[in-house]
């Protein structure tokens, strides 16, 4: 999420003062993240939101100033960075206003979207053609990007998946092996958003695919860039296809006890396929009707193996490799606290014991091998 702003002289700012726009669920996450920043002096000095709850938020997080308007926030001369944690329909205008006021900007996803215009029939998700939405979103993005460039300030898109430990480990392996990514599969799903605005296109710009699918999409695009740089190649997106639907609409009220999604004009199921210029593929799925907790994962299938980055539920990472020598000096996970056991990568998956149930890491019949995968839980000792 974080990139260090610089002064006009190119020197790193020794102190960074943040102004937070919004005080909802995402703002709580950002405050938690700021408390974990080290190596640079960062402080949230002001927060702005409508309603009395902004005062409670400021008091709880010991933020000195609470504003009721965004313009008052960006007029605060002490602030260098504005962190936008508001509903998606406010993002583009806030980005432009803050950067024109001379601020660096961090903005939550999505960067842009279609949220309706005067004359649109409501609900817009059912009445405005998607092709028209697409044209208008591209126009708005072009205008916003042009403004960002003119200001000379930093715009920082707050995508957290690329910093997840299992995704950074995937990137590290791709750099080491220089293997070609043939296919990636990403997902973020759960049983429905708790936010009322998530049900409407006019406030979120879409359903599960833009609200959640943007995270695995960002991760697969990032990993493809890592591969291209490691191999000295240029790889671009060649085409994108999508399919969406409301699969939970068929349920009776008594069947919806645990599914919280109740969309008005957005999808609760979405899938996206990206075709890259090298002919390889990636699919992204997101659903608001998936039971069992949040699912956050990226599967990467390469010319030399398979990498499973399981962010949530957290089993860290599983992998399969055909060439052990490429990873001779790499541990499965660097030691980070008492809950992780580090083991070397080995060729192939772990093989189940004869007569035992197949290991969760073994997804097809296997030959016997020396393979190990990451062990989670209090270890007796760490294996080098």
pLDDT score, position 39: 87
256 and 292 inside one domain: yes
Q: Using 50, 70 and 90 to split pLDDT, how confident is the model at 32? A: very high
Cα 291 to the chain's mean position, in Å? 20
191 and 314 inside one domain: yes
Question: Does the residue 38 lie in any domain?
Answer: yes
* Residue 8, CA distances (Å) to 5, 79, 152, 153, 154 in order: 10, 16, 9, 9, 11
Cα 299 to the chain's mean position, in Å? 15
**Per residue in 312-351, pLDDT tens?**
887 767 777 777 787 777 765 333 333 333 344 444 443 2
Supply the range of the domain harboring residue 353: 333-357+364-384
Q: Are 317 and 332 in contact (CB under 8 A)?
A: yes
Give mean pLDDT, residues 188-203: 91
d(CA 206, CA 28): 23
**Per residue in 213-236, pLDDT tens?**
999 999 999 999 999 999 999 999
121 and 178 inside one domain: no
- Percent of all residues in the chain with a pLDDT value above 90, rounded to a whole number: 72
31 and 98 inside one domain: yes
> Is residue 59's pLDDT more than 60?
yes
pLDDT score, position 342: 38
320 and 338 inside one domain: no
pLDDT score, position 11: 55
Q: Are 170 and 300 in contact (CB under 8 A)?
A: yes
Asked which of 115, 132, 157 is the last residue of a domain, the reply is: 157
Count up the domains in the chain and report the number. 3
pLDDT score, position 368: 29
Average pLDDT of every residue of the chain: 84
**Per residue in 97-112, pLDDT tens?**
999 999 999 999 999 9
Question: Does the residue 342 lie in any domain?
Answer: yes
By CB atoms closer than 10 A (0-12, 13-18, 19+), residue 141 is: middle
**Per residue in 147-193, pLDDT tens?**
999 999 999 999 999 999 999 999 999 999 999 999 999 999 999 98
C-alpha angle 67-73-75 in degrees, rounded to nearest 5: 130
Asked which of 157, 186, 214 is the last residue of a domain, the reply is: 157
pLDDT score, position 321: 75
């Amino acid at each position: 999420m974080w990139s260090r702003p610089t002064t006009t002289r190119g020197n790193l700012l020794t102190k960074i003062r943040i102004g937070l726009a919004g005080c909802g669920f995402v703002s709580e996450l950002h405050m938690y993240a700021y408390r974990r920043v080290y190596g640079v002096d960062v402080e949230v000095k002001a927060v702005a939101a409508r309603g009395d709850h902004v005062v409670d938020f400021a008091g709880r997080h010991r933020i000195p100033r609470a504003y009721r308007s965004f313009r008052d926030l960006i007029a605060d001369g002490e602030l260098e960075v504005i962190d936008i944690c508001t509903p998606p329909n406010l993002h583009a205008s806030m980005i432009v206003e803050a950067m024109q006021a001379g601020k660096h900007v961090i903005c939550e996803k999505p960067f842009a979207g279609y949220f309706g215009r005067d004359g649109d029939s409501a609900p817009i998700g059912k009445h405005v053609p998607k092709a028209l939405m697409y044209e208008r979103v591209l126009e708005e993005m072009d205008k916003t990007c042009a403004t960002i460039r003119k200001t000379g300030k930093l715009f920082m898109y707050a995508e957290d998946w690329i910093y997840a430990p299992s995704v950074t480990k995937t990137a590290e392996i791709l750099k080491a092996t220089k293997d070609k990514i043939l296919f990636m599969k990403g997902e973020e799903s759960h049983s429905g958003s708790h936010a009322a605005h998530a049900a409407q296109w006019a406030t979120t710009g879409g359903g599960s695919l833009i609200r959640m699918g943007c995270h695995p999409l960002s991760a697969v695009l990032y990993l493809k860039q890592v591969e291209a740089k490691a191999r000295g190649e240029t790889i671009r997106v060649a085409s994108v296809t999508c399919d969406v639907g409301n699969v939970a609409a068929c349920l009776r009220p008594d069947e919806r006890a645990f599914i919280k999604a109740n969309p008005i004009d957005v999808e609760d199921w979405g899938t996206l396929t990206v075709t890259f210029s090298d002919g390889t593929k990636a699919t992204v799925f997101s659903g608001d009707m998936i039971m069992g907790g949040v699912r956050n994962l990226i599967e990467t299938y390469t010319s030399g193996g398979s990498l499973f980055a399981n962010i949530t539920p957290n089993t860290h990472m599983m992998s399969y490799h055909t060439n052990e020598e490429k990873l001779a000096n790499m541990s499965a996970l660097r030691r980070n606290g008492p809950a992780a056991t580090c083991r070397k990568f080995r060729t192939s998956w772990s093989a189940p014991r004869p007569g035992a149930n197949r290991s969760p890491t073994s997804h097809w019949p296997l030959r016997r091998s020396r393979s190990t995968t990451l062990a989670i839980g209090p270890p007796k000792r760490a294996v080098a």
